[in-house]
Amino acid sequence: MPRKIAFWLWDSLKTNPIRKHLASIKMINENPFGQASRIKNEGALKNLLKHAINTVPFYNDISSEGIESYPVVNKNLIKNNFGSFESSSFHNTKRIKQTTSGSTGTPFTVLHDINKRNRNTADTIYFGELAGYNLGSKLFYLKKWNDQNYKSISLQWKQNIIPVDVFDLNDKEISSLIGQLKTGNKDKNLLGYASAYDAIARYIQKENLGALEVNVKSIIAMSEALSDTTKKILGNCFKCDVLSRYSNIENGILAQQIPGFNNNFLINSASYYIEILDFNSDNQVKNGEPGRIVVTDLFNYAMPMIRYDTGDVGKYDIIEKNGNSFPVLRDIEGRKMDIIFNTNGEIISSFLVTNSMWKYDELRQYQFIQKSKIHYLFKLNIDGSFEREEELITEFKSYLGRDALIDVEYVDEIPILFSGKRRKVANLMK
């Protein structure tokens, strides 16, 4: 494959930085609790913390090398004290800006050094391969494309990327995409927002499409929860595994589902130290309990992100596979502010909502909102009339509590967020 050969040739001319990172990532993630992996990870964490104390103003006053002594930080704290998080060692070196708009459109920027960028590239290659992607093969990238993130024609060719804008992913656009997937016999791959895959799955159902001869090797969902029904429909139609990736712009790939892991997300232990902390304190919770996902990036030295609260919620666990133990994340809920509670104040998984809504195939779009402790709202976008409103309310009362007050509002459109994603679940409780 010419692109793959050219990529590794280019890397070799730079003394193989990405190939070396890739070898380290494989070694650690394939045996994360082995002695060699532990020594390497402990050394990486110790070196990062020492670097932060010596060169980053925000951490200059910390005297202990233990990570528990470092404060938990978040986007607002970093934005309001941006200069204090920059390492003085990298002021005169090339740094790469990574900017995320987030769901609200408020930009958040962090700085990466060259070594961090190379690490992210190696992470992408490694986790892509686990999903079935082969470096250099065609990738259909479904996201919101704009002037800031759009790739030039030459870069699209170089990376073999086909950009697909999800802003108006209607039946005509989906039909065109499937037509492109049917063209040619070379390997093809999909990477995109879960909401885009939901739209494609609904189109497949509506058109009653069976298994297609499209030679799709991998389908990876990012940024949003992917329902089991969407996974099944896409997997049957395109004849490959459909996996979810947990990542963000400011860090990189934090965890990913891989075949044989039963929907658990393999943590990228080689590049990140991940903690699950209590909602009301900075104490770690027990394995299997939900908490805040807090990340320490082991390779960003230009702007160290230590104990960074992602704003997401999940559970940490350890599973056994082929004689090895692996750290995994389960039940990643996305933004903490969008967690839904039943009328007794217990967390209800967003996956319960997304998986339950597939049976209501009359719906074009929906949004489920919690407005108070017992008051909920469904916004429904539907073609024609909806005769199952009472069934919907009765079903969700069984999940939320018999005293739940559930209203239904019919709308023409569920708006897309600034990020290009469509918010299916929202918590507006004060």
CATH of the domain at 300: 3.40.50.12780
Q: Do 8 and 70 reside in the same domain of the chain?
A: yes
Q: Which two tokens stand for residue 63?
A: 């005297």
pLDDT value for 358: 80
pLDDT value for 253: 98
Q: Do 148 and 225 reside in the same domain of the chain?
A: yes
Of 334, 353, 388, which residue sits at a domain end?
Answer: 334
Q: Do 222 and 355 reside in the same domain of the chain?
A: no
Q: Do 329 and 390 reside in the same domain of the chain?
A: no
For every residue of 25-93, DSSP letters joined together read HHHHHHSTTSHHHHHHHHHHHHHHHHHHHHH-GGGTT----SGGGSPPB-HHHHHHTGGGGS-GGGTTS
Parent domain of 382: 339-427
Q: Please give the Cα distance from 215 to 238 (Å, whole number).
A: 8
CATH classification of the domain holding 380 = 3.30.300.30
Q: Do 26 and 159 reside in the same domain of the chain?
A: yes
Q: Please give the Cα distance from 79 to 88 (Å, whole number).
A: 17
Of 300, 334, 368, which residue sits at a domain end?
Answer: 334
pLDDT value for 167: 74
Residue 178 in contact with residue 212, Cβ under 8 Å?
yes
pLDDT value for 352: 80
Q: Do 38 and 73 reside in the same domain of the chain?
A: yes
Per-residue pLDDT tens, the chain, 430 aa: give them. Answer: 688 999 999 999 999 999 999 999 999 999 999 999 999 999 999 999 999 999 999 999 998 778 999 999 999 999 999 999 999 999 999 999 998 866 555 678 999 999 999 999 999 999 999 999 999 999 999 987 765 566 677 778 788 999 998 877 889 999 999 999 999 889 999 999 888 898 899 999 999 999 999 999 999 998 777 888 899 999 999 999 999 999 999 999 999 999 999 899 999 999 999 999 999 999 999 999 999 999 999 999 999 999 999 988 999 999 999 889 999 999 887 666 577 889 998 888 777 887 788 888 888 888 999 999 999 999 999 878 899 999 999 999 999 999 999 999 999 888 766 555 667 888 888 6
Q: Which two tokens stand for residue 195?
A: 């909401």
- How many domains is the chain built from? 2
Q: Do 262 and 322 reside in the same domain of the chain?
A: yes
Q: Do 97 and 230 reside in the same domain of the chain?
A: yes
The strand pair at 265-267 and 324-335 is best described as: antiparallel
Q: Do 238 and 384 reside in the same domain of the chain?
A: no
pLDDT value for 354: 77
Q: Which two tokens stand for residue 414?
A: 């569920």
Q: Please give the Cα distance from 346 to 341 (Å, whole number).
A: 5
pLDDT value for 106: 63
DSSP state of 230: H
Of 298, 313, 334, which residue sits at a domain end?
Answer: 334
Q: Do 382 and 319 reside in the same domain of the chain?
A: no
pLDDT value for 297: 99
- For residue 326, what is the enclosing H or E element? strand 324-335
Q: Do 322 and 352 reside in the same domain of the chain?
A: no
Q: Please give the Cα distance from 215 to 318 (Å, whole number).
A: 34
pLDDT value for 140: 96
pLDDT value for 179: 95
Q: Do 330 and 355 reside in the same domain of the chain?
A: no
pLDDT value for 348: 83
Q: Please give the Cα distance from 141 to 121 (Å, whole number).
A: 16
Q: Which two tokens stand for residue 100?
A: 């995320």
